[in-house]
Amino acid sequence: MHYIWLMEFSAQQIAALVSGEIVGNPDVSVRGVSKIEEGTPGTLSFLSNPKYEPFIYQTGSSICIVNHTFQPSKDLPPTLTLIKVSDAYACFAKLLEAYSQSKQKAPGIHPQAYIHSTAKVEDDVYIGAFVSIGEGVHIGKGASIYSHCSIGDHSTVGEGSTLFAGVHVYDSMVVGKRCILHAGVVIGSDGFGFAPDANGAYQKIPQIGNVIIEDDVEIGANTTIDRATMGSTIIRSGVKIDNLCQIAHNVVIDEHTAIAAQAGIAGSAKLGKHLMVGGQVGISGHLHIADGTKIVAQSGIPSSVNESDTFMGSPAMPFNDFKKAHIVFRKLPELRREVTRLNQEIEALKSTLK
């Protein structure tokens, strides 16, 4: 499968963008990208992992980005042009980023958008159809707000941030600069706060805080981040959150932490810097997790982690301990049979002694 671009790029243009060296035809052009093993004419591929090298000798791609260290062990396809760079993977990512930026909507406000008279919209902003922007909202320069988004009263969307279709930002929320909120994200929904009364019926505890999202944060589709009961739920700069995650009230996630899909973080948990949290991880409330901690997918964290380590299991334990415990766990059926046999022998001995 290959993916078509709306524009055509020559090898010469691509090499200039990534400071690469052309080996082959500088005038050959591409209009799409493809995996090297699925390459077709008119597409661009890359080779970074040596295990994929066999595919370069049979690829149909017109251009392939490779590392400077790459030396063909046999003849390449005559239609293939190489662009040699210091880091093929990073350069390919740079090209995709450049292409993504070229697809951004031109600035302008759709006539079917609603913008309150007190809202402040800076220059070069794109606002799509059926967007609702409330009283006192501030939209920073170069932001993009796609269709069917709603920005509640007195909220802020920072410079260069993008809110894709159907994002809902409640009142008094803060979204920083260069953030990306994918479709269906909800910022500022009420935290799950209820208290039982004398009859055991749950009474709602009003949630009057907000959410603060700092700069360069990316949040995946249909993720929800709850407002604080009081104060703020805070997502620090550089945090990356995948799709379908739940971040509860008063949580703080520190800088450059990455959280994979379907993770859930309970109220008032404090996550440190540079954490890596796997998919479907559950983190209990009112705890702290040390900087640099790694949590393997589907693990459960019931208590604070005070020293950086890799954790696995539910309840989670240090990864090396989990591996040892897992070896024992796998042998439990065998151990059970052995215990049963020994019990039978003991009972037989008792009968003999009687």
CA–CA dist 349, 354 (Å, integer): 9
Q: How many residues does the chain have?
A: 354
Handedness of CA 138, 114, 165, 266 (dihedral sign): positive
CA 32, 38, 39, 42 torsion-angle sign: negative
Question: Which one from 2, 168, 182, 249 is the annotated catalytic residue?
Answer: 249
Which residues in 93-185 belong to E strands, given as ranges?
108-109, 114-115, 120-121, 126-127, 132-133, 138-139, 144-145, 150-151, 156-157, 162-163, 168-169, 174-175, 180-181
3-state secondary structure (DSSP) of residue 332 = helix
**8 A C-beta contact, residue 5 and residue 70:** no
Is residue 249 annotated as part of the catalytic site, yes or no? yes
Which residues contact residue 330 at a Cβ distance below 8 angstroms, ignoring those fewer than 6 apart?
none
- Active site residues per annotation: 249
